Structure 1
């Protein structure tokens, strides 16, 4: 039930370029065994932004840490996987070339090896992850950054060194935006976060006034990380976390708002289970995210046949997020 974005995170720097420090459930993108002052070898994968999300998911599935640079102007993406030797890089390259051929389905990509001089990796990447406003009221701030909050701003602290998902990816940002909008119209309401990852959506929901808030992920480590982030934000007691997947979970209490920012194939295969999580009362809401733009129409039609009407659509970076209401 991992997020499609989960979408990771330490970001942006130069104009038109975003750096995402991926932390696929790892503390840094560099092996802790790397000797102080040692140079590194970078295995670089270059592809399109549209294909980059599938590469992110694939690398996450094999627990491979990476850093990701997105050039919005050129619509290109570069993954850097840092290793200690060219031999390690060559071995990984052979493995990843086979996987990329399976993942690509015609998408263009290239892979190469580059020597990277030493720097203080544990600290230098932090400059690329500033605090940022992600919705009308929600501000996401890493623990070391500062942000001048407005009177109505609500802060969510996320430590990007902890996990994958800090609100920089479009799917997460669009969900946060829609949850913020719903909070202005339908509180008090319960909220269920399916595929919680770092817990960013659940934490934001508490900040916005939703109660109770429930967060679920099929990855035990993700749930552990989400709990830590909730504690960082002093809301640990206001979110009920659990480990499970949609195919086997039958004990979830239906909620007034359900956010499913997961994978398109899961949204399709588990549609029946997802709609059962939404309160039966007309007017209850469902946010679906994690779909590429060309995947959205079929999924929208599927949920409309299950009794949900489309209320709003957010599109960007090749992705589409839909807000639905039970009819």
Structure 2
């Protein structure tokens, strides 16, 4: 069955707002939403949602309802996605990404690693997280800052995707790390990436939706919890996340649009986690909070 992209063309500012609306509409559901620049000179961007062809009528209706109040006149356009490995294709020309001391690169760019770099090798795969998205790069930068400034004895990477964040932390701190994802394919990809980066020992990878696994009780509570997901599930899981955090522990949250920052902070202030710092990257934020 073919895949469909429904998209709206707008300025960068409006595209970010439309992306926030789409993120709210589809929440924790298994739809990919995103923005893409199509014409820099004319400030044209596309805000998109990806779906299977048999879902088109329902998804289009929900997009129309979501945009009705703020963007009632926006034309929702349609594109049929060819049967191509777009993850691999889109990464072919991407350059290595620096985030603090971390350098995330593909196998074809190993020669670009410098002496003091903490290199993380991630090739195109079936899981989210190559370092090129503002949320992933922001998390890596924040991980380096937090790990350098306070003791961390164990950690949790919730929604690990490609495993890039857990791998990065394991490379700078020789501590036990639990990394989980709701998608079993992502977990297998992350295991292979951990082996490739030489950090498989001490890194436990588990398929688990939310906090529903005995692994959390077995490995926790955690001095550091990293969750690069989306704003709505982060808000919902705030009490459970706080319950798995060790006294004095730190939390790094991302997958949050700038406009959603205050809602996330309010949810975590409600479970006694205080704001320490926010990093801003390309319309997305990464937030560091601390217990106590």
User: C-alpha displacement at 1:312, in angstroms?
Assistant: 0.7
CA contact (8 A) 1:264 1:295 kept: yes
Deviations 1:64-119 (A, max 9, x none): 7x996335953623659799xxxx7xx77545422422554646554445699999
Whether the 8 Å CA contact 2:138–2:279 is kept in 1: the answer is: yes
Which of 91, 96, 101 aligns to 2:64? It is 101
Contact 1:140 1:167 in 2 (8 A): yes
**Aligned with 1:214: secondary structure?**
strand
Counterparts of 1:42-61 in structure 2, within 5 Å, are 45-47=7-9, 48-52=15-19, 61=29
Say which of 285, 308, 314 aligns to 2:250. 285
- Deviation of the 1:181 alpha carbon: 0.7
Match of 2:232? 265
Alignment match, 1:17: none
What CA distance in whole angstroms lies between the structure 2 residues aligned with 1:119 and 1:321? 32
For the pair 1:256 / 2:223, whether they are aligned, the reply is: yes
1:230 is aligned to 2:199:
no
- Between structures 1 and 2, the one with greater strand share: 2
Aligned residues: 279
Please give the alpha-carbon distance, in whole angstroms, between the structure 2 residues aligned to 1:318 and 1:305. Answer: 25
**Inter-CA distance 67–232: structure 2 relative to 1 (3 Å threshold):** farther
Residues 136 and 180 of structure 1 are in contact (CA less than 8 Å); yes or no, is this contact kept in structure 2?
A: yes
Indicate the SS of the match to 1:216. Answer: strand
Q: 1:227 to 1:323 in 2, by over 3 A?
A: same
- 1:158-193 CA-to-partner distances (Å, cap 9, x unmatched) read 122332221222222111110011122234531110
Could you tell me which residue of structure 1 aligns to residue 46 of structure 2?
77
Q: SS of 1:145's equivalent?
A: helix
| Structure 2 contact 27–232 (Cα < 8 Å) conserved | no
Give the secondary structure class of the aligned counterpart of 1:98.
helix
Unmatched 5+ stretches in structure 2: 10-14
Normalised by the size of structure 1, how large is the TM-score? Answer: 0.71
Tell whether 2:170 aligns with 1:206.
yes
Alignment of 1:291-302 (within 5 A): 291-302=256-267
1:122 Cα offset (Å): 9.2
1:276 paired to 2:248 = no
Q: Larger helix proportion, structure 1 or 2?
A: 2
- Greater mean deviation of Cα atoms: 54-63 or 99-108: 54-63
Q: Which residue of 128, 132, 135 corresponds with 2:97? A: 132
SS in 1 for 2:288: strand
